Chain A
């Protein structure tokens, strides 16, 4: 039979990490059960995959690991039936995964340019993949200055804390962490909303590409700042999420006008979005 895009591959949960104080964000590092699946699963940061639990269902998540990393990483917030079941899964258990679906961040366009990454909340996943992909020396040489601004509500809500600490020391990356409100928390770094921090950091727009992923409200206030800094709409890229069921442009759910987030996205240039209905 022809290849069936609905069939999940078997994945073993190698590691589960609780990411935040609220304990509703967990990271799952998955290994392929079958070696042939591992070889066939080729992806680029920005793409997503469906995780599946037999008898419970499936849902799409951005891939949070880089292609060279041995395990496939997903960070999942507990919100509904499927994610609650997934959160109850422990190391060693087998789950399903199908993908990778969608396009990716525009790495070819980014070659030779500065990269500005703007992210808020737990949408940092595919941008974490992007940073992890850009940093190895083999890739790093192809890009200019990399600036990443990553904010969360409070210090305890930032993902991948240990890795962030290491990245802050990395001279190849200018990582700026911020939190919305301190509320008395011990935080020696920046306090402020992501768009405001972006404004004060003011990365230069000349020969640069901006990658943005975050909640709608952050995106809304980030656009004017990027425009003010001189980023033209065709140099700003956003990763979108819409409800989806198939991942291959058939089930209909994720359409924005004639485009499907799963197939034509999830990464769109701001320029593209200006020509589409605001249905995301």
Chain B
């Protein structure tokens, strides 16, 4: 696929052109950090915080989504589809996460039409990370801060200009009229890539983890690992791949509608039967479910682990639980099992 050099001016022009006819969203400055918002000018883009506080999953799977309104006879009316949207400056970990969600919602079994039509209308322009945050660990899972998975176009800042690499045809179309990248830039980019990758020191044997996790189901370690968990669900809401939802009806001034809202397997009501019986009554069983889901269940369901190493669950946890320590602990137990 095509790779080009884009100067700052050219990037500004490109974005201005896009903003004039499509909804463009990007990380902007918010409360001392970055978060996603619709932008009307390229100046609003804020990429200094490494990553946005919230992941990009809401763009294809909103926190609260109208599934249908009901007319006065109770017949459902489906809302109109969204307009084309561009996510500018999405990080490679978050783009990978959208790929996991797409696989789960669209490609596995029955397709979810709401997610599907959002995916079709979304273009992802990624920005490679040239530095990492203390909670980043994508490389520890075998991914890279320069990955292109899930993206349409990847930008990498190389000494004041941007290397733009098309990943899909959608991305390539954006690069018309730009000059191709030369060897020097590509070499410099390779150096930047190895430098940023070296900032992440952990290495997790993910294959080993997913292979052995089923045997750890009844292990007492879950009790210990979940001791400080307060079941707030912040980890799951901020996780870029968590996809659980609740379906709920609302009636206001005689008008009814059905929505879906994000839900969390960390809540006790999540799995409680109408009879009161609850298969995951203990906090530890819910903590275990989340870890099992990230590194084992989704590999069975869609062939991918559903942790991308973005680190949001680490920075958001009010109890200071660090998924890297959990994974390391589980791997230590697995290594000890053979002995």
Residues of A within 8 A of B (CB): 1-8, 10, 53-59, 77, 79-80, 83, 94-96, 215-216, 241-243, 245-246, 248-253, 255-258, 263, 277-280
Determine if A8 and B273 form an interchain contact, defined as CB atoms under 8 angstroms apart. no
Per a CB cutoff under 8 Å, which of B73, B105, B113 touches A4? B113
Is B296 on the interface with A (CB-CB < 8 A)? yes
Determine if A258 and B75 form an interchain contact, defined as CB atoms under 8 angstroms apart. no
Determine if B244 and A249 form an interchain contact, defined as CB atoms under 8 angstroms apart. no
Which residue of the partner chain B has the closest CB to A217? B277
Is B247 on the interface with A (CB-CB < 8 A)? yes
Which B residues are CB-close (under 8 A) to A216? 277
Determine if B67 and A251 form an interchain contact, defined as CB atoms under 8 angstroms apart. no
Determine if B271 and A54 form an interchain contact, defined as CB atoms under 8 angstroms apart. no
- Given A8-B76, A83-B274, output 11 extra A-B contacts at Cβ < 8 Å: A2-B111, A53-B74, A55-B70, A241-B273, A243-B271, A243-B274, A251-B244, A252-B244, A258-B298, A277-B217, A279-B285
Which B residues are CB-close (under 8 A) to A6? 67-68, 113-114, 247, 258
CA distance A26 to B231 in the complex (A): 37
Minimum CB–CB distance from B97 to chain A (whole Å) comes to 16
Minimum CB–CB distance from A54 to chain B (whole Å) comes to 4
Determine if A280 and B109 form an interchain contact, defined as CB atoms under 8 angstroms apart. no
Q: Scoring B residues 104 to 118 as 1 if CB is less than 8 Å from chain A, else 0, what string do you get?
A: 110011111110110
Is B198 on the interface with A (CB-CB < 8 A)? no
Determine if B275 and A252 form an interchain contact, defined as CB atoms under 8 angstroms apart. no
* 8 residue pairs, one from A and one from B, having the closest CB atoms: A55-B256, A252-B244, A54-B74, A258-B300, A54-B70, A258-B297, A279-B279, A55-B251
Is B30 on the interface with A (CB-CB < 8 A)? no
Which B residues are CB-close (under 8 A) to A7? 68, 76, 78
Which B residues are CB-close (under 8 A) to A55? 70, 74, 249-251, 256
Q: Scoring B residues 132 to 149 as 1 if CB is less than 8 Å from chain A, else 0, what string do you get?
A: 000000000000000000
Which A residues are CB-close (under 8 A) to B243? 250, 252
Determine if A80 and B274 form an interchain contact, defined as CB atoms under 8 angstroms apart. yes
Q: Tell me whether A253 and B271 are in contact in the complex, defined as CB-CB below 8 angstroms, given that A1-B78, A4-B78, A216-B277 are known contacts.
A: yes
Minimum CB–CB distance from B217 to chain A (whole Å) comes to 5
Residues of B within 8 A of A (CB): 67-68, 70, 73-76, 78, 81, 104-105, 108-114, 116-117, 214, 217, 243-251, 256, 258, 260, 263, 265, 270-275, 277, 279-280, 285, 289, 292-293, 296-298, 300-301
Which residue of the partner chain B has the closest CB to A246? B247
Counting chain B CB atoms within 10 Å of each CB, which of A59, A215, A248 scores highest?
Answer: A248
Which A residues are CB-close (under 8 A) to B217? 257, 277
Which residue of the partner chain B has the closest CB to A10? B75
Minimum CB–CB distance from A101 to chain B (whole Å) comes to 9
Q: Tell me whether A251 and B248 are in contact in the complex, defined as CB-CB below 8 angstroms, given that A2-B113, A7-B78, A242-B273 are known contacts.
A: no
Determine if A252 and B263 form an interchain contact, defined as CB atoms under 8 angstroms apart. yes
CA distance A256 to B108 in the complex (A): 17
Counting chain B CB atoms within 10 Å of each CB, which of A3, A55, A80, A95 scores highest?
Answer: A55
Main SS of the interface on chain A?
loop
Minimum CB–CB distance from A157 to chain B (whole Å) comes to 15
Minimum CB–CB distance from B209 to chain A (whole Å) comes to 15
Determine if B275 and A3 form an interchain contact, defined as CB atoms under 8 angstroms apart. no
Determine if A245 and B68 form an interchain contact, defined as CB atoms under 8 angstroms apart. no
Minimum CB–CB distance from A277 to chain B (whole Å) comes to 5
CA distance A77 to B276 in the complex (A): 14
Minimum CB–CB distance from B38 to chain A (whole Å) comes to 25
Which A residues are CB-close (under 8 A) to B116? 2
CA distance A58 to B68 in the complex (A): 13
Q: Tell me whether A96 and B78 are in contact in the complex, defined as CB-CB below 8 angstroms, given that A55-B249, A253-B263, A257-B292 are known contacts.
A: no
CA distance A249 to B298 in the complex (A): 12
Determine if A251 and B273 form an interchain contact, defined as CB atoms under 8 angstroms apart. no
The contact sample of 19 A-B pairs, CB cut-off 8 A, is: A1-B113, A6-B258, A7-B78, A54-B74, A54-B75, A80-B274, A96-B76, A243-B273, A245-B260, A246-B247, A251-B245, A251-B260, A252-B244, A253-B244, A255-B293, A257-B297, A258-B298, A258-B301, A278-B279
Determine if B109 and A263 form an interchain contact, defined as CB atoms under 8 angstroms apart. yes
Determine if A250 and B105 form an interchain contact, defined as CB atoms under 8 angstroms apart. yes
